[in-house]
Amino acid sequence: MRIISISMLGLAALLFIRTATAQTDPLPSWNDGQSKASIVAFVEAVTDKKSKDFVSPTDRLAVFDNDGTLWAEKPFYFQLAFALDRVKALALQRPEWHNKQPFKAVLQGDLAGLLAGNEHALLDILMATHGGMTTIEFEQIVSEWIATSRHPTKNRLYTEMVYQPMLELLVYLRTNGFKTYVVSGGGIEFMRPWVKQIYGIPPEQVVGSSIKVKFELRESGPVLVRIPEIDFIDDKEGKPVGIHKFIGRRPILAFGNSDGDHQMLQWTAAGSGLRFMGLVHHTDGEREWAYDRKSSVGKLDKALDEARARGWTVIDMKHDWKVVFPFEKR
């Protein structure tokens, strides 16, 4: 009786340990496999003081693309949805837009016609909706939009369209002393108002595209006015430039999902010591979307070839992720 008792105690202890281990898995939404293992192996190597790959905490910089890497980007970039909504809102004071392209196409719901147009059409829309107000006014506009607008097909808030496994990865990295950054082709001021709440990343750790800003001393006090002129494009070759400009140091981990992230991954890979380069490959047409080489949004072609040739980690969304979005969790 006594022996059995001890055995049962031992079994209970074993079960407890197993449960505790399962509970403290830092990446519970990742299926076990090569992708998850490569992430964990990297983090363990650079944080182990006895490892030859140890990296001091001040050099543990990790950069993440946003569209298609931290949140979804289909059927089109969420910032474009914001711009189209702004055209509709601003048209109340701009009746002439009903007869003027590219605004007319937006107001008539002719998205196909708009996207088929040249790049100038999109640029005109971005400038008309992102410039002409103070930085504080723009922050309020973004904050209101992001809190209330919903994805056109999933009917979820855009901030719910984030990838649960990537949220876990951000926390896992920070728990291990990493400083996490967003490095996005999207607008820096479109992201800053909500990144802290959604990703746990403070506004100053966002690198992105921007329009010009001008200081003005008004009677009511100083303001910064947004000028409808491109200041910086944080995409492709611009990403290493943006990382250098804003951070001034080379990251040891970079995650992207498209050819727009290719140069950022190359730049990260070219540093000395152990490095981690990751790509989110959109392979899940059921829970999310399946696309790569032929997609107009989030095209992944050359970066995928280089990733496979050099052994970078390519996440297979369908097989590597237990859940995609937080709302799938029970």
What residues make contact with a copy of itself under the rule CB under 8 A? 58, 135, 179, 188-189, 192, 196, 202-204, 206, 210, 213-215, 217, 221-222, 224, 231, 237-238, 240-241, 244-249, 263, 266-267, 270
**Smallest gap, in angstroms, from Cβ of residue 71 to a copy of itself?**
19
Closest approach, Cβ 233 to a copy of itself, in A, equals 12
- Residues 6 or more apart whose Cβ sits within 8 Å of residue 158: 71, 78, 81, 146, 149, 150, 151
Inter-residue contact 61 to 280 (CB < 8 Å): no
Are 101 and 125 in contact, with CB atoms under 8 Å apart?
no
Question: In whole angstroms, how close is the CB of 210 to a copy of itself at the nearest point?
Answer: 7
* Nearest in space to 214 (alpha carbons), one of 303, 135, 271: 135
Q: How far is the CB of 188 from a copy of itself (least distance, A)?
A: 7
CB of 185 to a copy of itself, least distance (A): 14
Q: Which is nearer to a copy of itself, 86 or 192 (CB)?
A: 192
Nearer to a copy of itself, 287 or 310 (CB): 310
Residue among 124, 82, 130, 119 nearest 101 (CA) = 124
Choose between 167 and 227: whose C-beta lies nearer to a copy of itself: 227
Phi, psi of 89, rounded to the nearest 5 degrees: -70, -40
**What is the smallest separation between the CB atom of 241 and a copy of itself, expressed in angstroms?**
5
Nearer CB in complex with a copy of itself: 26/228: 228
Which residue, 139, 261, 244, 155, is CA-closest to 193? 139
Q: Alpha helix (H) ranges present in the chain? A: 2-23, 34-47, 78-90, 103-107, 111-116, 119-130, 135-148, 164-175, 188-191, 195-199, 238-246, 262-269, 302-310, 317-320
Is 55 or 206 the residue whose CB approaches a copy of itself more closely?
Answer: 206
- Give me the least distance between CB of 127 and a copy of itself, in Å please: 18
Q: Which is nearer to a copy of itself, 125 or 206 (CB)?
A: 206
Nearer to a copy of itself, 18 or 196 (CB): 196
* Alpha-carbon span 325 to 321, nearest angstrom: 10
